[in-house]
């Protein structure tokens, strides 16, 4: 199998997020980035597929600060090739990023090898417009499935399990090549000890590919970005026990829990 | 009268002895050579440093065996059996040489009156000791003592040696025509048995007893290296080469290693030679199992089993030269991950092992392999991820590390910006755990009251890595260490004070320092000194009966037992000791990364719960005093789960000092 | 008159999901404010009976084609595109759910309409719509204005009341007249949730009991409440230690990490080890007799009172409401 995994760092929400001076974006000075949790599942799934079916795993990412770390980590986990797309990328949002990645994937010719599987996160915490996955599938003209929790390639097609809600799942078949948005890998992502990452840094090489410049289709104009009011201590619900129970029912119904 | 002067089927006795001795020594030597060959296949580590100190360690612990006396039922008997063995081994060799070379102008050992007396008396002492040992095995065996056939056989062989000596001695008295029994009083008592025998017969009995004795020893010689009594040969070396003879027990480094040990051991050849030697040295006494809190709680770990399984695996597969196919995996099949993860690295096992085995280093070496394969618990994996990313196990931003101080307006010097006497390395729990924040603030106030010149590293402080290293993530430990060392270089300070004993341990023993190694002290040591030196005035004496829990990493690892006790005394509190105190302290179960691990199955009784019950059982004790932030979390929880709320309070010693030194008006009404 | 508003009803196995009513209520409000008509679209076979339940819409459209059952996002987007063109729709509402994930972005790519996902608030204003989108797991909110009230909004589940979307009326139902191109992705079958013990990490509603529950018998009361809420029971460690619930129900540092929509903490003090496992919950309601219990420092709503008294009161009300 020819497996690609597309990676991206996400802002770390453990850190305080601050709004920048323009009031429309995050303060980039304070922002720290971390590997996307779902990305780690995508890498894990790719490595598991390779272990089961053979082939190569290529991890690719648009160049951003610290992106080398996640590429090396993926190599340490068992990826074979790491590629960094460079160029005048700006802060490529999902759709633009998808076009750049599509350009890279099609570099070897317009038709992808028939055993190609492209994996990426199904969701990411920093997605305003939507996801890179569907845009990418659209740009490549490939079938797409998201919220995927199981992947089983067999003879020119791939059988996937998608999660709906409340434990209900569905099985789909997609012809290859295909793009899959991974929700969780078959097994939890493996831990890769620091020593292995360091070894990968010494022995492996990250290829760089010039992705050129990209125009940003700016369809959504953010007017204002702000933090929700800090949730301090709990709002106390008071009254006689019966009253309290009534108020809770009301609250639950307002929040569509019931 | 010479026992070798006879012939059997025309074969002279001397020749027979030669043949038997050669055969026995050949088998013995061949086996020992093979065992040494196995050691040589292990990885190298340097245990040849500071030989005089090692010798001192050896003399004390092999010749005097103070650790064996920790268990009264077997201490003295073992001591006597050991020395009996030494005396008899020397005399055996003497007798053997004399027997092999009859022309030598020397007597047999038992022909020398003083030696005969020695042998005679020891024979009885050893027999009595054997009686105790056998009775212990049969009637009051402590838990975890390995009751093997092997052990019984060995005890009978030793008994046989003693009996043959006494019988020979008794017969000799008769053979020599009722010679005085002054030098062999016990044989003298037996002599009556042979009173009816002719001198001729008595002669034969003497010779027969001699042969029985010699043959038994030769048989013993052959059998020894195949049995658990290999410990008799290996353990003196094990003691001599023990790590803590020359280094702190809290240092998990491997000096002189020629290979990269960070990936740990998946095959026995990846253990160090000393770790393999530990297996050969184990006496199967079960002391370590009896002291192990994991075993006590019903976790699947028995430290003795770790040592034994390594030994069996090495001997079985190493000697066959089997490799690869058919050889079970050391980690996974022979020793399960669950066993390895159950260890709290509390050092109780190593602290009581009479042959000075190093269980923790073996467990960590095997854990390292699991980590290198990515086989770590989900919760531990999260923690390691947090530590990589944020430098603390709480997964909070490093910018929040000193929030406990900043949020309440405490002004504390930044050691990176101005010089301080003490650099306070606060540690993760004391910095981030909401339960500990207030205590940490109190500690800061007490330091201030004592006029201590101290500062923090603020967000530059990282988890010191003690537990990370013990989980087996050596690479991450190195990273954390490097980051802290960089921070230390930017700061100006004379000494370090830590809150967390785990931190204390690794900073004190496992960090490398440029230039002089600064003194690293626990806050109890510093506060004790301040109280003793009257730098910290008491405003109010406290009263009440309290008990104190010795944290493993403060006590067993670093020998700090008295400072906290002196503090409690100075505060006016009456200290009641728990039965398991000082170096027998019972681990709370948090160490070695255990605090991060998920419970895979239900446990009988968590170590912390056992400890809380122990404190409650003292009666009349209102407070369990701790000197470690992790203990606070563990015991406060255990007080709840054992239903002892309201009966026992868990307090950090700093809270008590704060109470006793606070300005009267500052105290809440 | 503003352009029509179109909402995509979501159905799973012949049932309308809550999000459909949440969107319908919202759509109705916006439509009234903008003076625009509201259409609802039901995709998949047997859509008519479902469409009949969407009474708040001015009309309901169906596209009864089995290939639209659990259709992949590309196929759904294609159907939507056709309806948008036909109806000249301006604002399109889609659920930001697993079922419809990806539809918004593909539709945006194909139509050029802006797509705002995870919408938690929406307001109509002078021919435009102002949407508030939740970003970074709720740590940041962004206001976006859709001029001309044209664009695609992915509606965050639970953000709008579903009750506002229910009605007894039936709307006029017509066929949308969609041509379905066979999707490359084929839906094979549903996989039912595994029986056996519940996976508390996947539950939307958790009733968590702590030592305050006092006896094993009272756990049964909590089970009943959980059933009435359509959720499951979980617990703090001491309750698990007692053996009152299996280990798989333990929340916290040494148990599971859960992020339900509702976490009802009954008689739980809120120790850091417990907090670690449930802090990501969307709404935490705590009941504790001790007004100073740390759980109140982090919960969204707090009730000082006896959980044992509260549980049956709430259960009864929930049952009464339903039945
Ligand atoms: C290493 C470690 C790991 C741990 N891991 C976990 C973990 O994974 N998960 C976990 O939960 N804990 C864990 N703990 C335990 C944790 O520290 C707490 O002890 C535990 O969470 C407390 O549980 P609780 O809130 O049910 O009990 P308590 O703290 O005893 O709280 C009971 C609460 O109930 C209230 N109450 C009493 N009666 C009533 C009533 N009738 N109605 C309403 N309220 C009432 C009381 O006021 C009190 O606040 C761990 C501890 C350690 C040391
Ligand atoms: S260090 Fe402690 S927990 Fe680990 S094996 Fe030894 S006694 Fe048991
Ligand atoms: S390792 Fe030491 S303490 Fe444990 S059984 Fe062996 S000799 Fe005894």
* Nearest CA-CA partner of C73 in A45, A220, A114, A174: A174
pLDDT at A24: 85
Q: Which of B94-108, B244-258, B638-652, B654-668 has the lowest mean pLDDT?
A: B654-668
Distance CA C142, CA C133 (A): 5
Chain A residues inside the 8 Å CB shell of C73: 134, 144, 146
Same structural domain for residues C150 and C17? Answer: yes
Contact B599 C247 (CB under 8 A): yes
pLDDT at B104: 86
Cβ(B379) – ligand 1 distance below 6 Å: no
Ligand nearest to the CA of B70: 3
pLDDT at B669: 45
Distance CA A61, CA B99 (A): 84
Find which of C159, C165, C185, C276 to mutate to test the A interface (most A CBs within 10 Å of its CB): C185
Q: Any chain C CB within 8 A of the CB of A237?
A: yes
Same structural domain for residues C154 and C69? Answer: yes
Same structural domain for residues B404 and B478? Answer: yes
Q: How far is the alpha carbon of A56 from chain C, nearest alpha carbon, in Å?
A: 24
Measure CA of the first residue to CA of the last residue in chain B; give whole Å: 95
In angstroms and rounded to an integer, the radius of gyration of the C-alpha atoms of chain C is 22
**CA angle, corner B400, sides to B456 and B635, nearest 5?**
85
Nearest-CA residue for atom 7 of ligand 2: B292
pLDDT at B324: 66
pLDDT by residue (tens digit) across B299-325? 999 999 999 999 999 999 988 876 667
Q: Tell me which residues of chain B, numbers 349 to 408, contact chain C at a CB-CB cutoff of 8 Å.
A: 379
Q: Which of A23-32, B380-389, C36-45, C129-138 has the lowest mean pLDDT?
A: A23-32
Nearest-CA residue for atom 2 of ligand 3: B353
Contact C191 A226 (CB under 8 A): no
The reply to whether C261 falls in a domain is: yes
Backbone angles phi, psi at C213, to 5 degrees: -75, -20
Global pTM reads: 0.89
Greatest C-alpha distance within chain C? 65
Q: For residue B222, what is the DSSP state?
A: H
A194: left (phi over 0), alpha (psi -120 to 50) or beta: alpha
* % of residues, chain B, pLDDT over 90: 68
Same structural domain for residues C22 and C129? Answer: yes
* Cα dihedral A31/A35/A37/A40 (nearest 10): 170
CATH code of B182's domain = 1.20.950
Q: Which has the higher per-residue pLDDT, B628 or B140?
A: B628
Distance CA B462, CA B428 (A): 8
Same structural domain for residues C101 and C222? Answer: no
Domain boundaries, chain A: 2-213
Nearest CB partner across the interface for C318, out of A133, A175, A249: A249
pLDDT at C1: 62
Kindly state the average pLDDT of the residues B136-151. 85
Scan for tokens 């040849």, then name that residue.
B48
Chain B residues inside the 8 Å CB shell of C250: 599
pLDDT at B129 over 60: yes
Could you tell me which residues are beta bridge partners of residue C262?
A: C205, C283
Distances (CA, A) of B481 to A24, B48, B465, B474, C184: 40, 27, 7, 10, 54
Q: How far is the alpha carbon of C78 from chain A, nearest alpha carbon, in Å?
A: 12
pLDDT at B217: 92
Ligand 1 atom nearest to C251, measured from its CA: 9
pLDDT by residue (tens digit) across C282-304? 899 999 999 989 999 889 999 99
pLDDT at C221 over 50: yes
Same structural domain for residues C97 and C228? Answer: no
pLDDT at A89 over 70: no
The reply to whether C213 falls in a domain is: yes
Q: Which of C175, C209, C225 is the last residue of a domain?
A: C175
Q: For residue B224, what is the DSSP state?
A: G
Q: Read off the tokens for B592.
A: 């070695």
Q: Answer whether C109's CB lies under 8 Å from C126's CB.
A: no
CATH code of C122's domain = 3.40.50.620
Residue B547 neighbours by CB distance under 10 Å: 22
Q: Any chain B CB within 8 A of the CB of A221?
A: no
Could you tell me which residues are beta bridge partners of residue C43?
A: C63
Q: Is A154 helix (H, G, I), strand (E, B) or coil?
A: strand
Same structural domain for residues B487 and B609? Answer: yes
Distance CA B360, CA B243 (A): 12
Same structural domain for residues B395 and B274? Answer: no
pLDDT at B61: 94
Cβ(C271) – ligand 1 distance below 6 Å: yes
Q: Read off the tokens for C296.
A: 């109140």
Same structural domain for residues B321 and B467? Answer: no
Q: Which has the higher per-residue pLDDT, A17 or B622?
A: B622
pLDDT at A66 over 60: yes
Find which of A16, A193, A232 to mutate to test the B interface (most B CBs within 10 Å of its CB): A193
Cβ(B287) – ligand 3 distance below 6 Å: yes
Ligand nearest to the CA of B311: 3
Ligand 3 geometric centre to CA of B91 (Å)? 29
pLDDT at B232 over 80: yes
Number of domains in chain B: 3
Same structural domain for residues B293 and B179? Answer: no
Cβ(B285) – ligand 3 distance below 6 Å: yes
Distances (CA, A) of B60 to B281, B355, B414: 17, 12, 47
pLDDT at A130: 56
Residue C2 neighbours by CB distance under 10 Å: 20
Q: Which of B337, B372, B407 is the last residue of a domain?
A: B372
Contact A193 B399 (CB under 8 A): no
Same structural domain for residues B232 and B261? Answer: no
Q: Any chain A CB within 8 A of the CB of B379?
A: no
Distance CA B481, CA B475 (A): 10
In angstroms and rounded to an integer, the radius of gyration of the C-alpha atoms of chain B is 30
Chain A residues inside the 8 Å CB shell of C95: none
Same structural domain for residues C54 and C119? Answer: yes
Same structural domain for residues C27 and C152? Answer: yes
The reply to whether B667 falls in a domain is: no
pLDDT at A37 over 90: no
Residue of B nearest to A189 (CA): B374
Number of domains in chain C: 2
Choosing from B151, B244, B353, B360 the residue with most ligand 3 atoms within 8 A of its CB, the one to mutate for a pocket test is: B353
Cβ(B347) – ligand 2 distance below 6 Å: yes
Residue B667 neighbours by CB distance under 10 Å: 11
**CB under 8 Å to C86, separation ≥6 — which residues?**
C176, C177
Q: Answer whether A177's CB lies under 8 Å from A114's CB.
A: yes
Q: Which of B237, B271, B294 is the last residue of a domain?
A: B237
Ligand nearest to the CA of B295: 2
Range of the domain at B521: 380-661
CATH code of C270's domain = 3.40.50.1220
Task: Classify domain A2-213 by CATH number.
Answer: 3.40.50.620
The mean pLDDT of chain B is 91
The pLDDT-based confidence of C229 (bands split at 50, 70, 90) is very high
Q: Any chain A CB within 8 A of the CB of B473?
A: yes
Range of the domain at C66: 5-175
Per-residue H/E/C for chain C: CCCCEEEECCEECCEECHHHHHHHHHHHHHHHHHCCCEEEEEECCCHHHHHCCCCCCCEEEEECCHHHCCCCHHHHHHHHHHHHHHHCCCEEEEECCCCCCCHHHHHHHHHCCCEEEEEEEEEEECCEEEEEEEEHHHCEEEEEEEHHHCEEEEECCCCCCCHHHCCCCCCCEEECCCCCCCCCCEEEEEECCCCCCCCHHHCCEEEEECHHHCCHHHHHHHHHHHHHHCCEEEECHHHHHCCCCCHHHEECCCCECCCCCEEEEECCCCCHHHHHHHCCCCEEEEEECCCCCCHHHHCCEEEECCHHHHHHHHHHHHHHHHC
Cβ(B638) – ligand 3 distance below 6 Å: no
The reply to whether C191 falls in a domain is: no
Same structural domain for residues C153 and C209? Answer: no
* % of residues, chain A, pLDDT over 90: 41
The reply to whether C192 falls in a domain is: no
Chain A residues inside the 8 Å CB shell of B384: 191
Distance CA B466, CA A154 (A): 48
Distance CA B594, CA B470 (A): 10
CATH code of B360's domain = 1.10.1060
Ligand 2 geometric centre to CA of B342 (Å)? 8
Q: Which of A91-100, B256-265, B327-336, B533-542 has the lowest mean pLDDT?
A: A91-100
Q: Report, in this order, helix, strand and coil percent for chain B, each rounded to 5.
A: 60, 5, 35
pLDDT at B420 over 50: yes
Ligand 2 geometric centre to CA of C260 (Å)? 38
pLDDT by residue (tens digit) across B425-443? 999 999 999 889 999 999 9
Residue B233 neighbours by CB distance under 10 Å: 16
The DSSP line for A66-88 is: THHHHHHHHHHHT-SEEEEEESS
pLDDT at B259 over 80: yes
Residue of B nearest to A30 (CA): B399
**CA angle, corner B398, sides to B393 and B402, nearest 5?**
100
Contact C272 B633 (CB under 8 A): yes
pLDDT at A217: 66
Q: Answer whether A143's CB lies under 8 Å from C184's CB.
A: yes
Chain C residues inside the 8 Å CB shell of B602: 241, 243, 247
Kindly state the average pLDDT of the residues B223-235. 90
Residue of C nearest to B396 (CA): C276
pLDDT at B13: 84
pLDDT by residue (tens digit) across C24-73? 999 999 999 999 999 999 998 888 899 999 989 999 999 988 888 888 88
Kindly state the average pLDDT of the residues B42-59. 95
Greatest C-alpha distance within chain B? 104
Kindly state the average pLDDT of the residues A152-174. 88
The mean pLDDT of chain C is 90
Kindly state the average pLDDT of the residues B266-277. 95
Distances (CA, A) of B622 to A118, B523, B547, B607, B628: 64, 23, 8, 20, 19
Cβ(B293) – ligand 2 distance below 6 Å: yes
Burial class (CB in 10 A: 0-12, 13-18, 19+), B543: exposed
* % of residues, chain C, pLDDT over 90: 51
pLDDT at A129 over 60: no
Q: Which of B325, B350, B372 is the last residue of a domain?
A: B372
pLDDT at B544: 93
Q: Read off the tokens for C235.
A: 């617990």
The reply to whether B669 falls in a domain is: no
């Amino acid at each position: 199998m020819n497996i690609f995994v597309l990676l991206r760092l996400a802002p770390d929400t453990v850190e305080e997020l601050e709004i920048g001076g323009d009031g429309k974006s995050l303060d980039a000075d304070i922002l720290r980035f971390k590997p996307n949790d779902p990305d780690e599942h995508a890498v894990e799934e790719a490595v598991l597929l390779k272990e089961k079916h053979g082939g190569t795993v290529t991890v690719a990412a648009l160049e951003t600060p610290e992106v080398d770390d996640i590429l090396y980590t993926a190599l340490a986990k068992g990826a074979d090739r790491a590629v960094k797309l460079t160029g005048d990328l700006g802060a490529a949002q999902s759709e633009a990023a998808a076009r750049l990645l599509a350009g890279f994937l099609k570099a070897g010719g317009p038709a992808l090898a028939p055993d190609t599987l492209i994996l990426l996160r199904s969701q990411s915490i920093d997605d305003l417009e939507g996801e890179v996955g569907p845009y990418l599938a659209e740009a490549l003209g490939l079938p797409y499935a998201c919220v995927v929790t199981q992947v089983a390639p067999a003879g020119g097609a791939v059988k996937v399990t998608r999660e709906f809600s409340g434990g209900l799942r569905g099985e789909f078949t997609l012809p290859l090549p295909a793009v899959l948005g991974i929700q969780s890998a078959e097994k939890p992502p493996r831990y890769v000890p620091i020593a292995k990452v360091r070894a990968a840094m010494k022995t492996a090489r990250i290829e760089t590919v010039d992705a050129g410049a990209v125009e940003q289709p700016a369809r959504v104009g953010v007017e204002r970005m702000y933090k929700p009011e800090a949730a301090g201590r709990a709002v106390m619900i008071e009254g006689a026990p019966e009253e309290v129970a009534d108020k809770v029912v009301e609250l639950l119904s307002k929040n569509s829990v019931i | 009268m010479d026992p070798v002067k006879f012939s059997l089927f025309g074969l002279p006795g001397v020749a027979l002895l030669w043949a038997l001795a050669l055969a026995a020594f050949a088998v013995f030597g061949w086996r020992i050579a093979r065992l040494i060959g196995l050691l040589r296949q292990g990885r190298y580590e340097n245990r040849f440093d500071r030989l005089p100190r090692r010798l001192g360690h050896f003399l004390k612990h092999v010749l005097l065996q103070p650790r064996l006396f920790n268990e009264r039922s077997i201490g003295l008997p073992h001591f006597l059996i050991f020395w009996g063995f030494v005396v008899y081994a020397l005399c055996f060799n003497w007798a053997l040489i004399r027997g092999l070379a009859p022309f030598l102008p020397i007597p047999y050992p038992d022909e020398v009156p003083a030696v005969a007396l020695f042998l005679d008396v020891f024979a009885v002492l050893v027999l009595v000791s054997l009686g105790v040992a056998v009775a212990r095995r049969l009637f009051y065996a402590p838990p975890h003592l390995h009751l093997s056939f092997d052990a019984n056989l060995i005890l009978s062989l030793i008994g046989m040696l003693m009996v043959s000596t006494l019988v020979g001695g008794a017969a000799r008295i008769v053979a020599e025509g009722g010679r005085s029994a002054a030098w062999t009083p016990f044989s003298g008592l037996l002599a009556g048995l042979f009173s009816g025998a002719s001198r001729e017969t008595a002669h034969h009995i003497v010779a027969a007893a001699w042969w029985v004795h010699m043959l038994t020893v030769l048989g013993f010689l052959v059998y020894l290296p195949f049995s658990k009594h290999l410990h008799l040969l290996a353990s003196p070396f094990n003691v001599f080469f023990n790590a803590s003879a020359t280094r702190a027990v809290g240092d998990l480094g491997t000096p002189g290693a020629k290979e990269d040990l960070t990936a740990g051991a998946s095959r026995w050849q990846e253990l160090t030679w000393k770790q393999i030697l530990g297996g050969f040295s184990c006496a199967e006494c079960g002391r370590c199992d009896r002291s192990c809190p994991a075993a006590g709680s019903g976790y699947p770990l028995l430290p003795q089993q770790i040592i034994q399984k390594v030994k069996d695996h090495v001997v079985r597969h190493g000697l066959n030269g089997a490799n690869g196919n058919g050889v079970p995996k050391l980690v996974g099949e022979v020793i399960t991950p669950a066993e390895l993860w159950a260890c709290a690295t509390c050092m109780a096992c190593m602290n009581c092992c009479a042959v000075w085995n190093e269980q923790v280093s073996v467990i960590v070496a095997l854990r390292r392999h699991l980590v290198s394969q990515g086989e770590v618990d989900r919760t531990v994996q999260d923690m390691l991820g947090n530590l990589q990313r944020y430098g603390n196990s709480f997964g909070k931003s490093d910018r929040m590390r000193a929030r406990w101080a900043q949020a309440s307006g405490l002004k504390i010097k930044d050691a990176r910006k101005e010089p301080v006497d003490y650099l306070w390395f606060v540690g993760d729990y004391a910095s981030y755990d909401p339960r500990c924040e207030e205590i940490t603030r109190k500690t800061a106030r007490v330091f201030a009251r004592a006029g201590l010149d101290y500062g923090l590293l603020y967000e530059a402080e990282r988890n010191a890595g003690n537990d990370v290293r013990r989980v087996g993530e050596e690479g991450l430990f190195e990273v954390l260490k490097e980051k802290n060392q960089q921070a230390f270089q930017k700061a100006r300070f004379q000494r370090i004070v830590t809150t967390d004993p785990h931190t204390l341990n690794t900073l004190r023993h496992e960090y490398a320092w440029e230039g002089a190694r600064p003194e690293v002290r626990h806050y109890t040591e510093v506060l004790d000194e301040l109280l003793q030196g009257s730098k910290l005035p008491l405003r109010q004496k406290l009263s009440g009966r309290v008990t104190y829990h010795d944290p493993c990493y403060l006590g067993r690892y670093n020998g700090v037992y008295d400072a906290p006790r002196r503090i409690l005394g100075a505060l006016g509190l009456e200290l009641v000791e728990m039965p398991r105190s000082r170096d027998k302290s019972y681990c709370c179960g948090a160490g070695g990364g255990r605090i991060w691990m998920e419970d895979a199955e239900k446990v009988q009784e968590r170590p912390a719960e056992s400890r809380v019950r122990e404190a409650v059982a003292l009666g009349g004790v209102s407070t369990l005093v701790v000197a470690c932030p992790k203990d606070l979390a563990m015991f406060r929880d255990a007080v709840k789960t054992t239903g002892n709320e309201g009966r026992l309070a868990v307090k950090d010693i700093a809270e008590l000092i704060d109470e006793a030194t606070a300005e009267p008006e500052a105290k809440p009404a | 008159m503003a352009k029509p508003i179109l909402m995509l009803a979501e159905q799973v196995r012949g049932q309308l999901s809550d999000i459909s009513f949440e969107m319908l209520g919202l759509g109705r409000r916006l439509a009234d404010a903008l003076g625009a008509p509201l259409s609802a679209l039901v995709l998949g076979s047997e859509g008519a009976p479902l469409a009949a339940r969407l009474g708040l819409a001015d009309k309901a459209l169906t596209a009864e084609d089995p290939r639209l059952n659990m259709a992949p996002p590309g196929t759904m987007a294609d159907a939507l595109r056709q309806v948008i063109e036909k109806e000249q729709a301006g604002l399109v509402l889609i659920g930001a759910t697993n079922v419809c994930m990806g539809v918004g972005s593909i539709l945006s790519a194909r139509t050029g309409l802006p797509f705002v996902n995870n919408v938690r608030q929406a307001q109509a204003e002078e021919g435009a719509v102002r949407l508030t989108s939740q970003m970074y797991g709720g740590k940041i909110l962004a206001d976006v204005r859709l001029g001309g009230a044209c664009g695609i909004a992915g509606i965050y589940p639970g953000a709008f009341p579903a009750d506002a979307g229910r009605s007894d009326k039936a709307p006029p139902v017509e066929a949308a007249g969609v041509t379905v191109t066979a999707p490359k992705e084929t839906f094979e079958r549903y996989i039912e949730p595994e029986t056996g013990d519940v996976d508390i990490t996947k539950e939307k509603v958790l009733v968590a009991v702590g030592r305050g529950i006092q006896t094993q018998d009272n756990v049964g009361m909590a089970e009943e409440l959980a059933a009435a809420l359509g959720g499951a029971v979980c617990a703090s460690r001491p309750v698990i230690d007692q053996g009152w619930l299996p280990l798989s129900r333990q929340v916290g540092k040494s148990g599971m990490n859960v992020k339900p929509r509702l976490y009802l903490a009954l008689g739980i003090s809120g120790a850091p080890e417990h907090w670690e496992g449930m802090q990501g919950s969307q709404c935490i309601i705590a009941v504790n007799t001790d007004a100073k219990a740390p759980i109140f420092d982090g919960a969204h709503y707090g009730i000082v009172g006896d959980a044992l008294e509260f549980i049956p009161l709430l259960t009864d009300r929930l049952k009464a409401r339903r039945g």
